């Protein structure tokens, strides 16, 4: 089996000076300390770019215990995210999250589409009105998405799934909100927690999906689903520096 490069070289995080567009003639402007439609779209589109830039790596990770198509599936799902944003007629948080959730719910490629769709629909259901949310409100949206997903999936932290990145990311976001940190700081904390969670999946066997069939042989290999979530949160963090 081909030896993979370390995570620091595999992950093509699109940071300053790469694909995230910025205003010319000066340093990047920070995201405002609330997240409205415009800011959320920037976060989502940055996540789309992160995943697509790492499509080959995600499929390589999936080849250890799966069909080797996770990168293709995620890239397809992110394409639906982008199309849903473009087609969304109501420019508010609830509408765009709802449209994205339903758009990717039926993506071919196993459970990825339904799981991500459920997460975004859960976030949408938690939006109370059309006003932007502060860091506390943002944490509540992510918590609602996770809660909806946990009603669908029995996977727990330590099972080598997307939950290994998502659960700590949402917990970090909540911790940052409770500490009164800014949106930018909260997203950075969530991204760091998601990355650590994804890296931790190398330490235990797969218990879900096709990979559970080879169990112990997945030890030493990073879970593609958790890695995808990590990439998405890196996109959310990168959006702090995007044009809005």
* Residue 191, domain CATH: 1.25.40.340
Helix (H, G, I), strand (E, B), or coil: what is residue 45?
helix
- The answer to whether residue 13 sits within a structural domain is no
Q: What is the pLDDT of residue 64?
A: 74
Say whether pTM exceeds 0.75.
yes
Q: For residue 28, which of 228, 242, 221, 230 has the smallest C-alpha distance?
A: 242
With beta carbons less than 8 A apart as the criterion, state whether 97 and 84 touch: no
- The answer to whether residue 17 sits within a structural domain is no
User: In a structure prediction context, what are the per-residue pLDDT tens digits for the chain, which is 244 residues long?
Assistant: 444 444 444 455 544 333 333 334 444 444 568 999 999 999 999 999 999 999 999 998 887 767 777 889 999 999 999 999 999 999 999 999 999 999 999 887 678 899 999 999 999 999 998 899 999 999 999 999 999 999 999 989 988 899 999 999 999 999 999 999 999 999 999 999 999 999 999 888 776 666 655 556 667 778 899 999 999 999 999 997 553 3
- The answer to whether residue 176 sits within a structural domain is yes
Q: What is the pLDDT of residue 26?
A: 42
Helix (H, G, I), strand (E, B), or coil: what is residue 216?
helix
- The answer to whether residue 51 sits within a structural domain is yes
Q: For residue 174, which of 151, 145, 214 has the smallest C-alpha distance?
A: 145
* CA 127 distance to own-chain centroid: 19
Structural domain boundaries, residue 160: 33-241
Q: How far apart are CA 47 and CA 61, in angstroms?
A: 19
Helix (H, G, I), strand (E, B), or coil: what is residue 85?
helix
- The answer to whether residue 8 sits within a structural domain is no
Domain count, the chain: 1
* CA 179 distance to own-chain centroid: 23
- The answer to whether residue 26 sits within a structural domain is no
């Amino acid at each position: 089996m081909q030896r993979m490069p370390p995570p620091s070289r595999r992950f093509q995080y699109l940071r300053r000076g790469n694909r995230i567009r910025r205003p010319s003639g000066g340093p990047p402007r920070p995201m405002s300390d609330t997240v409205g439609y415009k800011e959320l779209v920037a976060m989502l589109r940055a996540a789309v770019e992160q995943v697509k830039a790492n499509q080959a790596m995600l499929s390589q990770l999936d080849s250890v215990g799966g069909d080797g198509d996770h990168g293709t599936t995620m890239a397809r799902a992110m394409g639906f995210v982008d199309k849903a944003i473009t087609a969304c007629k109501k420019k508010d948080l609830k509408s765009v999250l709802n449209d994205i959730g339903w758009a990717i719910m039926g993506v071919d490629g196993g459970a990825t589409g339904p799981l991500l769709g459920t997460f975004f629909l859960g976030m949408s259901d938690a939006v109370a009105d059309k006003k932007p949310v502060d860091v506390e409100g943002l944490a509540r949206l992510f918590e609602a998405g996770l809660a909806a997903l946990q009603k669908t999936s029995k996977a727990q932290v330590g099972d080598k799934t997307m939950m290994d990145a998502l659960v700590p990311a949402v917990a970090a976001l909540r911790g940052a909100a409770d500490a009164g940190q800014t949106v930018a700081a909260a997203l950075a904390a969530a991204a760091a927690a998601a990355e650590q969670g994804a890296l931790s999946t190398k330490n235990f066997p797969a218990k879900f999906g096709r990979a559970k069939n080879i169990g112990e042989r997945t030890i030493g290999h990073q879970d593609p689903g958790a890695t995808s979530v990590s990439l998405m949160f890196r996109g959310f963090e990168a959006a702090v520096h995007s044009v809005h």
